[in-house]
Structure 1
Amino acid sequence: MLHEDRLFPADERTRAIARVLYAEVCDLPIVSPHGHTDPAWFALDRPFASPAELLVVPDHYLLRMLYSQGVPLERLGVPRLDGGPVEADPRRIWRVVAENWHLFRGTPTRLWWEHSLERVFGVTQRLSAATADGIYDCIDACLARPEFRPRALFERFGIEVLATTESPLDTLDHHRAIRASGWSGRVVTTFRPDIVLDPDTPGFLRNLEALGDLAGEDALRWNGYLAALARRRRDFMACGATATDHGHPTAATADLPRDEAARLFERIVSGRFEPGEAELFRGQMLTEMARMSLEDGLVMQIHPGVHRSHNPRLTGTFGPNRGDDIPVRTDFVGALKPLLDRFGNERDLTVILFTVDETTYARELAPLAGHYPALRLGPAWWFHDSPEGMLRYRERMTETAGFYNTVGFNDDTRAFPSIPARHDVARRVDCAFLARLVAEHRLDEDEARELASDLAYALPRKAYKL
């Protein structure tokens, strides 16, 4: 299924250059500094239960496409919040995907899946209704073998380091178990505090109380709240964390005087606050997180501009992360100014910006990162981690921000077998872009070889302090 020249330019001269560049990077170790795989997989190292559990149920790209074509999520085995009946036979779940595989023509999901099927499980047939059972049996037999357990796959994939993402209320027991096991694989955590920074989160006050209990602080008072967050950050760093992650609705920041921030927090805790005050509080907390990052050295990632759980019927039935998150227009220049006025010139702070609003690439993000020492640009993200999306990113960002104000690639996935596939796609696309610059005499080939290696390996290691 996999052509050796996939994603390379059609022009033969440029394609030949891309081949040379790709040969330099195809076998480099994988650095995966941001993602959502389950640390329990590596702590317990148990066999994956079935092809459906491993490849279908956690893949929100897959779920959203099938749902858009009228396939109920119950048929895909996605658990309901009310415990209602869903398909429990993994073979039937697999057949639903196979029967609808034509829906994924031209999508990155197909690229990732076919790479996973062939390179991980040795499947060389195209998925379809006719081949569904045979492919299922092949993968199912593989999963029963020790070389397909999580730790063995981690090593086979050539992963040097993998970051998961945990809530500030997580006990981090799985990460501690990994570190105590003696296994050489490096799995680190990432601090994702949204549920204790966003007053619109359901159960926000309960979350603050739980945060205080874990940190040994009174998190319902401003000073205790800040101390609890700082303590939890140290707990995460003890489990290998090098970064925080913030998925706020917007990129709004604020820098209130200390007493005013404390009074705002009191209104938030009382529950008597206006919607605008919730946004102001989120903005203040992004600036507080930047302050803490300057103090403790954690890299700060900001992922704004997504209307999460847009479909209330779907979210109410199945919960979040089921494929109904939708991009929205995002302002960075005005929104980030309070944070940048205070910390943008700090060379010891790294704030990595992501967006799903491509209109901001050349107008806002590239000029910002091309000026402020504290800023770096995350890769083409989420809806744009496709070959075309990655090329648009390079074309619109590079002329203003250059390559070295970006941070390489991260896969941002819950689907473990797709990690090498996603990195391979990114490396091929970057080599295709660099090959064009060489062919147009805008870059020497030795520079392109160095850049290809930096984008695939050196930049993520440096940006995330790995």
Structure 2
Amino acid sequence: MTLHPDRLFPADERTRAIARELHRQTADLPLLSPHGHVDPRLIAENLPFPDPARLFVVPDHYLTRMLYSQGVTPGELGVASVRGEPSEIDGRTIWGRFAEHYRLFRGTPSKLWLDHTFAEVFGIYKELGPDTADEFYDHLSARLAEPAYRPRALFERFNIEVLATTESPVDSLEPHAALAAQTAADGRAWGGRGGKVVTTFRPDNLVEPGWPGWHDRVEALAELTGEDTATFDGFLTALRSRRRDFIAAGATCTDHGNLTAYTEDDPKAAAEIYARALAGEADEAEILRFPGLMLVEFARMSVEDGLVMQLHPGSNRNHNEWLHAGWGRDVGGDIPNATEYTRALKPLLDAFGNHPRFRIVLYTLDETVFSRELAPLAGGYASVFLGAPWWFLDSPEGMRRFREAVHETAGFYNTAGFVDDTRAFCSIPARHDLARRIDAAYLARLVAEHRMTDAEAADVAVDLAYNLPRKIYGLEK
């Protein structure tokens, strides 16, 4: 197995040569990860990674989802049952099942990322399959035991400048405090290139009253902040307090994964629904309405404290009830919904869309809105930027379609650059390389068609890979 140096570049020889040169301009730039889900304890504790199965397979719903679609249950892949039922615990057995089905990923972004990781990070230039499963497992296990493959060593090797994790307001920020203490003790950032880990404020589990455990989390928020969350004003004050804590821990952004992009600017209605939810009296319509009311409240807070809002709606969570009941959230049972933005976001944009201190980055799982809604919104409000294709769309074709659909209306500079959106730490370089190659290929086509000069395309390539995410997500601070 080899990684072809021209992978993902155009088939036409002349255009491919242009893409190759554009990619060369970005290949060695530092990596910015302003939207991701790596556990901060991974870096703070710097412990060896677990066995290959628990590093690559068990936590990755991209992989477990595909195998489940072919009849392999999450339990057979080591995912713990929420009902206490037996799950496979032997790493080699889990890895063997994964290798047996690796052919299912042919042509998918998952295989592109994994092949890149196996080769470039771990030095395995072979094709994974049943015949090589044990060889892979032994090689990976040996590497993972080496100091050079501890999280911080890889962080430095990957040339990561900023890695943003994601925490809820009731999560502990202790791992970030530990990293800050280590930085202070060393007199510099612990990464050799000055890389840093920051947090991101994600309040979804406090604004969805229908989410199991909501009352307990509201009480936990009160205990953390010393505020009285029995009232809506106290709830908002507590959230503001936690935002200050997150900013002190390096946060530059918030992250909101609402079901829809619906917003409503009505603090009185929000207070009434909050009181009814606390009393256990809110109906289904009110429970669905409350997150949209809270998005405007969070926008109001962003104007106050400068945190950049990220909104990525459109996922129908836990659609497969059997999977959810057996193995819980985030095991691959989520399905994209059609999502409307223009009318849904108007109340929020009416209130803050033209405010100089407000910035919102919009993502979507519904690519039908790329050109119809998102690009015009980004072109119509100074506060609106378009996030990279994510999740079901973070694929070569999805990224190409995104550029083709939004560029002519929004330009390149109303897009926010790439984010890897991953829990899979070792795949971060592979994901960034894929995105940089796709952008190089798209820009090469514009050069070949004499729509841009070589110099312009080189500037844009660097901006998309580095300058835009650094600026738009507030990472220059």
Task: Measure how far apart 1:175 and its partner are.
Answer: 1.1
Judge which range, 170-179 or 157-166, deviates more.
Answer: 170-179
In the TM superposition, what are the counterparts of 1:360-379 in structure 2 within 5 Å?
A: 360-379=369-388
The residue type paired with residue 313 of structure 1 is W
- Hey, what's the Cα distance between the residues in 2 that align with 1:250 and 1:416? 29
Separation of aligned partners in 1, 2:270 and 2:99: 54
Q: Distance in 2 between matches of 1:388 and 1:29?
A: 25
SS at match of 2:254: strand
Q: Measure, in 2, the Cα distance between the counterparts of 1:135 and 1:228.
A: 49
The aligned counterpart of 1:35 is: 36
For residues 165-192 of structure 1, give each alpha carbon's deviation from its aligned partner in whole angstroms, at most 9, with x where no partner exists. Answer: 0111111111111111232440011011
Q: Aligned-pair distance for 1:84?
A: 2.1
Shift of 1:280: 2.1
What does 1:17-56 correspond to in 2, within 5 Å?
17-56=18-57
Partner amino acid for 1:246? Answer: H
TM-score by length of 1: 0.99
Aligned to 2:75: 74
**For the residues of structure 1 that align with 2:58 and 2:472, how far apart are their CA atoms?**
32
1:112-123 equivalences under 5 Å are: 112-123=113-124
Among 191, 215, 222, the residue aligned to 1:212: 222
Counterpart residue number, 2:206? 196
Aligned partners of 1:362 and 1:396 also within 8 Å: yes
Which stretch has the larger CA shift, 110-119 or 304-313? 304-313
- 1:90-239 matches, cutoff 5 A: 90-182=91-183, 183-184=190-191, 185-239=195-249
User: 441, 453, 468: which is aligned to 1:459?
Assistant: 468
- Alignment size in residue pairs: 465
The Cα of 1:29 is off from its aligned counterpart by 0.3
Deviation for aligned residue 1:313: 1.1
- TM-superposed CA distance for 1:316, in Å, is 1.1
Look up the equivalent residue of 1:56 and give its one-letter code. Answer: V
Instruction: State the match for 1:269 in structure 2.
Output: 278
Q: Please tell me the residue identity of whatever aligns with 1:8.
A: F
CA contact (8 A) 2:75 2:87 kept: yes
The letter for the 2-side match of 1:318 is: W
CA shift, 1:263, in A, is 2.2
SS of residue matched to 1:334: coil
**Alignment counterpart, residue 342 of structure 1, candidates 337, 341, 351:** 351
Q: Distance in 1 between matches of 2:285 and 2:382?
A: 30
| Structure 1: tracts of 5 or more residues without a match | none
Partner of 2:6: 5
CA contact (8 A) 2:32 2:469 kept: yes
- Secondary structure in 2 matching 1:130: coil
Deviations 1:183-240 (A, max 9, x none): 2440011011011111111121111111111111011211100000000111111111
C-alpha distance in 2, partners of 1:374/1:268? 32
Give TM-score scaled by structure 2 length.
0.96
Equivalent-residue separation in structure 2 for 1:59 and 1:264 (angstroms): 36
SS of alignment partner, residue 243 of structure 1: coil
Equivalent residue for 2:319, pick from 306, 310, 331: 310
Q: What SS class does the counterpart of residue 380 from structure 2 fall into?
A: coil
Q: CA separation in 1, counterparts of 2:72 and 2:268?
A: 53
